[in-house]
Structure 1
Amino acid sequence: MSILAIDAGTTGVTALVVDAEGAIVARGYQEFAQHFPRPGWVEHVPEEIWQATLEACRVALRGIDRTDLVGIGITNQRETVVLWDRETLGSPRRAIVWQDRRTASLCTEMAAHEERVRELTGLRLDPYFSATKLAWIAEHEPHTWALVASGRYAVGTVDSYLIARMTRGTWHVTDASNACRTLLFDLELGAWSEELCDLFGVPTDALPELVPNWGTAMVTEPRAFLDLRLPIAGMAGDQQAALFGQACFEVGEAKCTYGTGSFILVNTGATPERSDAGLLSTAAWRSPDGELSYALEGSIFVTGAAVQWLRDGLQIVGSAAESEAIAATVTSSDGVVFVPALTGLGAPHWDPDARGTILGLTRGTTRAHLVRATLEAIAFEVRDVMATLPMPPGPLKVDGGAAANDLLCQLQADQLGVPVSRPRFVETTGLGAAFLAGLGAGVWSSFDEIRDTWALAATFEPDPAVRAQADADYARWSRAVERAKAWA
């Protein structure tokens, strides 16, 4: 038995085939375009996400015995909002991406509601989340919004859109891990909030039905999805899926995913724990019997995207993988500090007006210093978040593409002063979707069975000899962050 897992990320879609031992036996990947119509705006074309999904799955399924597949798991970039026609499944506008900052002024205007929004949702009133994006569409595109209000257009996150496409419009659903990122979800009740929908002007009828994270009854339509008729047996937002994929099932277990951004999640169990230090309270997953599990999250907007910017924007590295070798040619950044606030700052600073800042340049600065400063910035940003946790940081499980970078993992261990553990498979976002679907489809019967599939690949121990220098470097980083704030 095996599972097809679809990881619809911010820059591309990855498809994995995962067997009953938890091993990734096949993969496919397809990038899609990023659109930046104005400074601070980020958009995707929904049809391009769908086509990338189809192509990634085609590649992963080459040479695979399809009769061995028993289910599909889906994980996705969260907070991004998609509109589509319920009849044609076409989208009337581009998706507004989680990184988009166009609603910063709207959040400022709504500041009087901040405390109540945080009380109900566990989130901040920030452009990051979905509801302000929908309010922006309602204000600036009234003809489009009229069709939302009339019921012709559906509203959802990327998981909802993909499931609609895979089932030819039969299902309009999402789960708690995505719903809780919209500013429209009552975290403790585990349901859409009429109060919040009224506040942001979003009709509840346009929103998806809420379903458990595994064991649902949705089935793909073969004519729409690669001739496959399979249950969509598991689903979760990308960071909660990674928490699940890292087998962080016990209270206090934590993971950090290095992707486009970086996200630290700590399992807090059956009770939503609140933070006054810039962390978010979030739903982790909901079982078929309705039991909700929660997490604390630190959301960092730009980490891997900073390396992508070095590649595509500055063109000083040929690939993201090349960054480790280039950075290793120097023993330090030689005083260069890069604050990659390219879309503002997330946790724990929460400043949408911060902007990317490079300090400490001299005539002796080379591209190697800047590349190393970029990797150091990722480690610093994670330390910023870990320092706000209500419990002492323990060993940190890491995953995502940049977790394959040994230099980054060592820098991270040195900054945190705790071991960093890297699993056999760093694609734990997709793996988590596979585990959820496997629970739903009967591949695994318990969390313990899933935990048994987790395997350690490497541990990076902090070097006591560099502790003083690590703290000095972090202090310099903290000064640079203050200079990057409130720039726009």
Structure 2
Amino acid sequence: MDCILAIDQGSHASRALLFDTHGTVIARHEAGVEQYEPHPGWVELSPEQVLESVRTVIAKVLPQAAGQVRCAGLAVQRSTLVAWHRHSGEALAPALSWQDTRSRELLQAYASHERAIHEISGLPLSPHYLAGKMRWLMAHNQRVSQALAEGTLVMGPLAAYLARHLLEGQPLIVDHSNAARSLLFDLAQAQWSPALTGLFGIDPRVLPACVPTLEHHGLLEGTDIPLTCLCGDQNAAIHAGGEPLQDEALINLGTGAFVLCGVGRQPPAPDHLLGGIAWSTNKERRYLLEGTVNGVGSAIHWLQRQTETDILAGLPEWLDAVRDPPLFLNSIGGLGSPYWRQDIGARFVPDTDSVARRAVAVIESIAFLVQRNLAEMQPGRLGALRVSGGLSQLDGLCQRIADLSGLPVRRHEDPEATARGLAWLAAGRPNRWRHEPPERIFNPSAERDLKQRYEGFLQLLEKETGATD
């Protein structure tokens, strides 16, 4: 039986899965990826280690194919920057993760252009995206500045670096969905923006060529398998159930949380959220509206380091038992949408020594920030929510999201939303595809105390940020 290869490169691991042509998983392998935090706000990866992990998982699953591998897809963590040598492909610096915010001060020089940047790119002026990281590397990394002077520098999303090394012919390409997380991309035109590359002083010649997410990108090295989908990880995840419903939002709960809703053929014009591309071909595009919460799995890890406690093991019991948690000002990784602030310190209000109460407060802060993003997505347009990602296995978190939103929350048993959506895209978006029914539906209930804490949380954020609804 023919197969589809789905390669999912995420913040902490690379995975490869084989699906049959009806969407059933045949084989799976995973390899871990290390992150380094040499200074506060700096988050780095080794480009070589990431590449090797991807090659490893591909090599492990391909021999398990029952028949021909018809095609492959590659989904990659977005907003992670790599600089490399144009001819040798050698990485010139560590990869700067999407979580890296070292360019925060540098970007203050562009504050007067923030509205124009947002109108063209669909993004706020934030250090999480590529432009600020590019400026920082050019200013502070000698190998990068030397390559720039010699005309041998290439800079782009991690997806572009992987495509250069994994595909025959070593193309310099990046798909629309990854390019759209750069602050340099014109969302309506689906090309690098001359206005934005000029504003940030980025020579367009150092950037990979922009290409649709869905096309024949080339053959995987040493095989006859065409890569037919190249996209961002969240852009794949929203397609785990096929074409997104416009009255349903996906909440993908991983290292961060991403709230995504399909909006059709026209690019959105959000005030405080993000615009993006769900998928694209040479002839058409589908767009996304997206909200971002930075402190999700990363906030759990932060609390674990502080308390030296296995937080995840205790959470199921604590979420049922703790009824009076404090508020947690969750600025781990910076406040994402709709606030976009990097200067707010994380803290509990009031403080507590109880690990259980702290843990529940962190989980509730995630639910509160998710709800704050949902409130920005044109109230009334959504009829249901779908959750995926590791933390979606916490019943208490799913129930709180349902209670706050007033919408049913559907959780699917399949933990591989990104890989499943990627395989569906790579296979050509087939009608005959196995779509898992919800494993559980969390219906909203009237939780007055939870909603009162949510109102208190919003007031705390308003006080800290000066923002109002």
Same fold (TM over 0.5): yes
Structure 1: distance between partners of 2:303 and 2:26? 32
Residue of 280, 298, 305 corresponding to 1:286: 280
Counterpart of 2:74 in 1: which secondary structure? strand
Q: Secondary structure at the match of 2:262?
A: strand
- Structure 1 residue 22 and structure 2 residue 23: aligned? yes
Structure 2 distance, partners of 1:191, 1:400, is 31
Q: Aligned partners of 2:90, 2:75: CA distance in 1, in Å? A: 21
- CA positional deviation for 1:215: 2.8
Residue equivalent to 1:437: 426
Which residue is equivalent to 1:327?
318
CA positional deviation for 1:408: 1.5
CA shift digits 1:131-172 (9 cap, x unpaired): 111011122235523413544232121111111111266212
Q: SS of the counterpart of 1:245?
A: coil
The TM-score with structure 2 as length reference comes to 0.93
The aligned runs of 1:155-234 (5 Å cut-off) are 155-167=155-167, 170-222=170-222, 228-234=223-229
Q: Do the aligned partners of 2:164 and 2:170 also contact (CA within 8 Å) in 1?
A: yes
Give the secondary structure class of the aligned counterpart of 2:210: strand
Go from structure 1 to structure 2 and tell me whether the alpha carbon gap of 1:186 and 1:27 turns closer, same or farther (over 3 Å shift): same
Could you tell me which residue of structure 2 aligns to residue 261 of structure 1? 256
- Listed one character per residue, the Cα deviations across residues 74-110 of structure 1 (whole Å, up to 9, x for unaligned) are 1111111101223332211101111111111122111
* 91 and 324 in structure 1: CA distance in 2 versus 1, 3 angstrom threshold: same
Structure 2 residue aligned with 1:305: 298
Structure 1 residues 212 and 323 mapped into 2: Cα distance closer, same or farther (>3 Å)?
Answer: farther
1:342 alignment partner, SS class: coil
Other-structure match for 2:370: 382
Secondary structure of the structure 2 residue equivalent to 1:353: coil
Distance 1:385 1:343, change over 3 A: same
The partner residue of 1:345 within 322, 335, 352 is 335
Separation in structure 1 between the aligned mates of residue 320 and residue 238 of structure 2, nearest angstrom: 34
Judging changes above 3 Å, is the alpha-carbon distance between structure 1 residues 245 and 147 closer, same or farther for their aligned structure 2 residues? same
Return the offset for 1:317.
0.8
**Cross-structure match for 1:87:** 87
Which ranges in structure 2 are unaligned for 5 or more consecutive residues?
none
What is the alpha-carbon distance in structure 1 between the residues aligned to residue 25 and residue 289 of structure 2?
28
- C-alpha distance 213-110 of structure 1, shift in aligned 2 (>3 A): same
- Which deviates more, 141-150 or 470-479? 141-150
What amino acid is aligned across from residue 276 of structure 2 in structure 1?
A: T
C-alpha displacement of 1:59: 4.3
How far, CA to CA, are the matches of 2:440 and 2:17 in structure 1?
A: 22
* Residue 294 of structure 1, CA deviation: 0.9
Aligned to 2:269: 274
**Matched residue, 2:439:** 457
Letter paired with 1:275: P
C-alpha separation in 1, matches of 2:314 and 2:464: 24
Q: Give the CA RMSD over aligned residues.
A: 2.1
Superposed CA deviations along residues 424-467 of structure 1, whole A, max 9, x for unmatched, are 3132112121111111xxxx5x4x444x6343221111123x2x
2:288 equivalent in structure 1? 295
CA–CA distance in structure 2, aligned partners of residues 339 and 52 of structure 1: 35
Relative distance call for 1:155 and 1:395 in structure 2 (3 A) is same
Residue pair 1:22, 1:454 contacting (<8 A) in 2 also:
no
Name 1:225's counterpart in structure 2: none
Counterpart of 1:425 in structure 2 is: 414
Deviations 1:265-321 (A, max 9, x none): 111111112122x1112222112x331211111011121111223344532116x4x
Aligned-residue offset at 1:177 = 0.7
Map 1:463-482 onto structure 2 (within 5 A).
463-464=445-446, 466=447, 468-482=448-462
- Answer whether contact 2:367 2:397 (CA < 8 A) is retained: yes
1:361 aligned onto 2:351: yes
**C-alpha spacing 1:174/1:313, structure 2 compared with 1 (3 Å):** farther
